[in-house]
Amino acid sequence: MLILRLLLSLLAGASATAALAPFNIVWLAPVAPLLFYLILSTAPQRNSWLLGWSFGLGFFGTGVSWVFVSIYEHSATPLPLAVALTALFVSALALLFMLQGGCWKRWFSGRWGALSFIGLWILGEWLRSWLLTGFPWLYLGYATLDTPLASWAPMGGVWLNSLIVAGSGIVLFEVLREKSWPTRASYLLILIAPWALLPFVNTTWTTASGTPLNVTLIQADIDQEDKWDPQQRDSILARYEALSLPRSGDDLIIWPETAIPTFFSRAAEQLSPMLEQFDADNTTLISGLPTSSRDPDSQRRLYHNSIAVLSNGSGVYHKERLVPFGEYIPMEHYLRGALEFFNLPMSSFSLPLSDKQSLLNVQGHLMSAAICYEIAYPELVRESSQQAAFILTVSNDTWFGHSIAPDQHMQIARMRALESQRWIIRSTNNGISGLIDPHGNVTQQAPRYTQAILTGSVQPRQGLTPFQQVGSWPVVAFSFLLCIVGLGRQKLSFNDNARSLRPNLRH
C-alpha cells in the first residue's frame, strides 16, 4: 500500500506542472493539492513525511526539469553527473513538501484540517520566495492568468490566487463529503465567495501617464558557447549595432541580459558612433552588461550583472537576486574548480553594495528593472515598481534550451504586470521577448530561437494596486489563521469514518 501511495503522490505532484505554462491544463491546478490532501488524509502518520517528499519529487522533477539543460548542455559536465546533480537539486527542493506534509499530518489535521492544509500550502509558496535566497517558481496562482480569477491578482498578488486555487478543490471535496449541514454550508460559502465577489472587484487600479513610447527589442540570438568567447566579442557587438541602427529615432531600444559581453570601457570605442547617433535622435538605449565596483570596506573589486542606460537617459541597476552556481558559487573556496559546472563563465557576480537602488530615467519617466529570474520574486518587483511608470525585465533564456522554462518565465512576467498593472517590457537573447500590458496580456511577441526585431508601444502608468500598497502580509496572515483553525490531530481517517458507518453484525 505504501508503494502505491508513493506512486500516486509522485503523479499528483507532477500534475501541478501540467496546470502551468506551456501546457496550461488549468483544471489540474486545484486537483494537484486535492490529491495530495487525500493521500495524506488516508495515510498513517509515520508515512506522511515520505509521501510529502514523493509529492515534491514529482512537483519539482517535472516543473524544473530544465535545470538539467543548464547543467549538461552549457558545461562540460558528463551526462551521469548532470543527472545526479539535477536529482540532488530536485530532492533538496522536495524536502519543503516533506516538511509541509509531515507537519500537517502531525499537528494540523484536526476537525478543520482541510483549511489548515490550504494555509500550509500558501505558507509553503511564501517560504520558497525567501528561504536560502528563494526559489519562487511554480506557484499555482499563475494558472489563473487567463481565467476570470485573474482579477484578484492586483488585490493580493499571485499568493491570493494560489489560495483560491489550492482551496477550490479541497473545499469542494469537503462540501461533498461533509455530513453536517452547518459545516457543509460553511465550506460552500468559502467555495463560492471568490466567484460571487468577482463583479465587485475593481479591475483598473492605475491610469495612463503621458504619451506612449515607441519600443524596439533586439533579439540577437547569440549562441551561449559564443557569448563569452573574447574572439567573438566584436562580431556580437556588430550584430547588435546592425540590428539597432535602423531603429534610431525610436524612443527606446532594449538589448537583453549581458548583451554586451564585456565591461563597457572595452566596448566603448566600437559603440560610441552608434550611441552618439542615438543621443542626436533622442533614442534611449538600455543594455545588459557586466559592471564592476570597489568595496570601500575591503577594497575588493566586485562584479555585477547589470542593466545600464547608455544613451539619452541615466541609471544603472545591479542584480539583487543572484542564481546559485550560475552567477555565484556558494562555498566558492571549496567548490571552485572541483567540477566544470562550478567554472561557468561569469559565475563570480556580487550583490550591489546598497539595498536601495535608483530607478532608471528613461524619456522623462522612471523605469524599474528585473534581471532574469528576479521577475519571479513578487515582493521584489512590487517594491521596485511602486514609483515606476513601467517595468523592464531582461534575460538570457538560452541557458534553458528548448525546455519549458521560457514559457514558465513569460507566464511569471505576465503575473507581475497584472499585480502592478504596469506595462512590462521583456527582452531576451533568443526568446521569449515581448510586451505585456497592465492586465497581463502579451500584445507583441517575437518568434523564438531566431534573430528578431520586435517593435511596439508601451503606455506609462501611475497609481498603485492594493498589492503594491500592502504586499503579501494579509494573505500570509490569513494563511497562518487557517493553520491555527486546523490545529489538532484527526482521530479518525477517512477509512475509519467509512468503517464506522457500516452496520455492526455482531450485535
Is 225 an active-site residue?
A: no
Active-site residue (options: 105, 125, 227, 372): 372
- 234 and 328 housed in the same domain: yes
**Per residue in 292-333, pLDDT tens?**
988 877 778 889 999 999 999 999 999 999 887 666 555 444
Average pLDDT of the residues in 94-107: 97
Q: What is the pLDDT of residue 111?
A: 87
Catalytic position from the list 319, 374, 419, 483: 319
- 368 with 487, same domain: the answer is no
Identify whether 506 is part of a domain.
no
What percent of the chain is predicted at pLDDT more than 90?
A: 80
What is the identity of the amino acid at 252?
L
Q: Strands of 213-268 (E only): list them.
A: 213-219, 252-254
Shared domain check, 198 and 219: no
The answer on 453 and 412 residing in a single domain is yes
Residue 213: name the closest of 58, 367, 407 by CA: 367
383 tagged catalytic: no
Q: What's the pLDDT band for 502 if we cut at 50, 70, 90?
A: very low
Q: Which residues of 183-215 are buried (b: 16+ CB within 10 A; e: fewer)?
A: eeebbbebbeebeeeeeeeeeebbeeeeeebbb
Answer whether residue 101 is part of any domain: yes
| Per-residue cell: 223 | 549562441
Mean of the pLDDT values across residues 212-230? 94
The packing angle between helices 79-103 and 113-127, to 10°, is 140
Cα–Cα separations (whole angstroms), residue 57 to 17, 29, 84, 125, 160: 12, 17, 14, 16, 25
Give dist(CA 425, CA 458) in Å, integer.
8
Q: Are residues 376 and 250 in the same domain?
A: yes
For residue 296, the model assigns a pLDDT of 78
- Comparing C-alpha atoms, which of 255, 250, 251 is closest to residue 271? 255
Question: Please, is 11 exposed, middle or buried when counting C-beta atoms within 10 Å of its C-beta (0-12, 13-18, 19+)?
Answer: middle
pLDDT of residue 354: 81
Does the pLDDT value for residue 88 go beyond 60?
yes
Give the residues across from 455 on adjacent strands. Answer: 216
pLDDT digits (tens, 9 = 90+) for 376-388: 999 999 999 999 9
Q: Are residues 28 and 113 in the same domain?
A: yes
Mean pLDDT of the chain: 91
The tens digit of pLDDT for each residue in 114-164 reads 999 999 999 999 999 999 889 999 999 999 999 999 999 999 999 999 999
Region 23-27: mean pLDDT is: 97
Q: Is residue 139 part of a domain?
A: yes
Q: Rounded to the nearest 5°, which phi and psi values hold at 478?
A: -65, -40
- Residues 209, 460 contacting (CB under 8 angstroms): yes
Is 191 contained in some domain? yes
Query: Pairing between strand 365-371 and 390-395?
Result: parallel
Q: Return the minimum-mean-pLDDT range out of 371-380, 408-417, 464-473, 479-488.
A: 479-488
pLDDT at position 222 is 95
Domain check: are 279 and 388 in the same one? yes
Closest CA to 163 of 218, 209, 130, 123: 123
Same domain, 355 and 476: no
Joined together, the cell numbers standing for residue 2 give 505504501
CATH of residue 245's domain is 3.60.110.10
Q: Are the C-beta atoms of 441 and 426 separated by less than 8 Å?
A: no
* pLDDT for residue 507: 37
What angle is formed at CA 479 by the lines to CA 475 and CA 481, rounded to 5 degrees?
A: 120
* Residue-range definition of the domain harbouring residue 6: 2-203+469-500
User: Is a pLDDT exceeding 50 seen at residue 92?
Assistant: yes
**Contacts by 430-435, CB closer than 8 A, 24 or more apart:** 430/219, 430/221, 430/222, 430/397, 430/398, 431/219, 431/397, 431/406, 432/397, 432/406, 432/407, 433/217, 433/219, 433/256, 434/217, 434/410, 435/215, 435/217
Residues 423 and 302 in one domain: yes
Report the number of distinct structural domains present in the chain.
2
Q: How high is the pLDDT of residue 495? A: 47
Grid coordinates representing 377 are 520574486
Q: What is the pLDDT of residue 497?
A: 45
Confidence band, pLDDT 50/70/90 cuts, at residue 347? low
**pLDDT of 174 above 90:** yes
> What pLDDT does 330 receive?
56
Query: Please, which pLDDT band fits residue 192 given cuts at 50, 70 and 90?
Result: very high
> Which pLDDT score, from 0 to 100, does residue 503 have?
41
* Closest to 428 in 3D by CA, of 260, 232, 255, 245: 255
DSSP 8-state class, residue 376 = G
**Active-site residue flag, 372:** yes
| Within a domain: 326 | yes
Same domain for 218 and 271, yes or no, is: yes
Examine the domain organization and report whether 455 and 474 are in the same domain. no
* Residue 507 forms part of a structural domain: no
Whole-prediction pTM: 0.93
Given 257, 374, 379, 419, the catalytic residue = 257
Question: Which of the four pLDDT bands, split at 50, 70 and 90, describes residue 48?
Answer: very high
The enclosing H or E element of 167 equals: helix 153-177
Residue 154 lies in a domain: yes
**Mind listing the pLDDT tens digit for each residue in 251-278?**
999 999 999 999 999 999 999 999 999 9
Same domain, 391 and 477: no
pLDDT score at 73: 84
pLDDT at 324: 72
Asked if the structure places residue 505 within a domain, the reply is: no
